[in-house]
Amino acid sequence: MSLTVARRFAYQLGVPLFSLISGEAAQCSGVLSASWTCEIQPSFMNVRHRQSHDHLKIRKSLLRDLRSKKIPPSIPEIAKRLGTSVGYLEYRHGPLVEKLRAVRKRGLSEDRLRVILLARSAAAQFFSEEMEGLNPLSRKQAYRQLKKQTGLPKWVLKNAIQEVYVSLEG
């Protein structure tokens, strides 16, 4: 009998653990008769097994994600793919996880900046063409046309159009 099982028995009986281990459980109040062991479910005796991880395989997978040219997935996505928990990855492979987070954050910010610059250049091109034709500059018309051309998100386009419009109209 392990200490964990003894703790479970002591809890179920309402007896202090020390009394159960020292053999004085019968002298404590609240103890049932000697047939109490027949009343405990068999599942109470099951031993919990720890999940073993192949540390080297997981490390190689993390390094592969770090070396790839594209933005690495998030840590919860990696943990789900590897069949581990985020806590395990952070505890066992902490420096790699931090590098993955930094690379992902940098890649996402670069992508966002690239999208913003694309929206600004499209808006500047639209307004330069409008100014050559001497037509009035319409932000609403610019948004509609750029949305069709680029397919960028609404607020990225609106912010880019506003920045270009203010700089031109000044």
pTM metric for this prediction: 0.62
The token duo for 91 is 């505890």
Higher pLDDT pick, 156 / 12: 156
User: pLDDT digit string (tens) for 145-170?
Assistant: 888 888 888 888 899 988 888 887 76
44 confidence band (pLDDT: 50, 70, 90)? low
- Angle formed at CA 106 by CA 102 and CA 108, multiple of 5 degrees: 120
CB contact at 8 A, 96 and 59? yes
Residue 84 pLDDT exceeds 80: yes
